[in-house]
Chain A
Amino acid sequence: MNVLIGHYNYWIVIFLMMAGLYVVIAQGNLVKKIVGLNIFQASVFILFISMGKVEGGTAPIVTQGVSLYSNPLPHVLILTAIVVGVATTALALALVVRINEAYRSVEEDEIHEQDQSF
């Protein structure tokens, strides 16, 4: 029972991660694939942040009268990961827009067909 209570955050993360992975593998629409990738990314953020939480601790800002803080290291990593994630998503979506202009479609199989038929 302790295992269940102690680990449920990991299982939520794994569920979200697998949902994102499924969208990336199974969907043919390129924009949906990028959405799946973002779901995956958000699940990794939740993993790091939930691992950094300490019971009874507060936000890692030094204040009077508080002695126990949550771990600031994961926060640092995830902070920049979020902004970098949005920048790379923007780059990926720019690529999708250009692919659409070149192939007139954002479906994976239609693009493969156009590439292979020469």
Chain B
Amino acid sequence: MLFGIYSFLTASLFVTLDAVDVAFTEAAVGAGISTFLMLSTLALTVPREKVRRKRNVIPLLVVTTIGATLVYGTFDMPYFNDPSAPLHSHVARHYIEASADEVGVPNLVTAVLASYRSYDTLGEVTVIFTAGIGVLALLGYRKRRGKS
């Protein structure tokens, strides 16, 4: 349940950050499929978790150290909402300005996804297909008798 709420929160966060396509996908995927996956895995495995007795400090230390180092590293990064960040200056500007002439599709995200970076999208569809084959190989066969 919390998982679904978390997905919805991230989706609404994406809308406020002007990423409507991404919010759409996150809402559809996160609230629908992910929650179902978690629930069905819990139903297929042990529904109760073993309570841990000992408290371990080392993961907490590791995580805090890594977090502190990362925060130190962010001091050099461009400010939030800054239009003059190097991210927006080079290729992205070309895509925004030239896509009306070269592609003619109003949705810039689709233009980049399906036309400018179409080869990457082919790779991603292949990954999804492979994951589907993998799940089919692991959980697909129903005709077995007895333990596998």
Contacts and interface: CB of A to CB of B under 8 A. Distances in A.
Chains A and B in contact, CB within 8 Å? yes
Interface of A: 2-3, 5-11, 14-15, 17-18, 21-22, 25-26, 28-29, 31-32, 35, 38-39, 42, 45-46, 49-63, 68-76, 78-80, 82-84, 86-91, 93-98, 100-102, 105-107, 110
Given A62-B99, A72-B109, 17 more contacts: A2-B79, A5-B80, A11-B71, A25-B59, A25-B62, A26-B59, A52-B17, A52-B19, A52-B87, A55-B82, A61-B107, A62-B100, A76-B113, A83-B25, A86-B33, A87-B131, A90-B37
A70 B20 CA distance: 11
A48 to B, nearest CB: 9
Interface of B: 3, 6-7, 10, 13-14, 17-22, 25-26, 29-30, 33-34, 37-38, 40-42, 44-46, 49-50, 52, 56, 59-60, 62-64, 66-67, 70-71, 74-75, 77-83, 85, 87-88, 91-92, 95-96, 99-100, 106-109, 111-113, 117, 120-121, 124, 127-128, 131-132, 134-135, 138-139, 147-148
Contacts of B88: 54, 71
Contacts of A107: 50
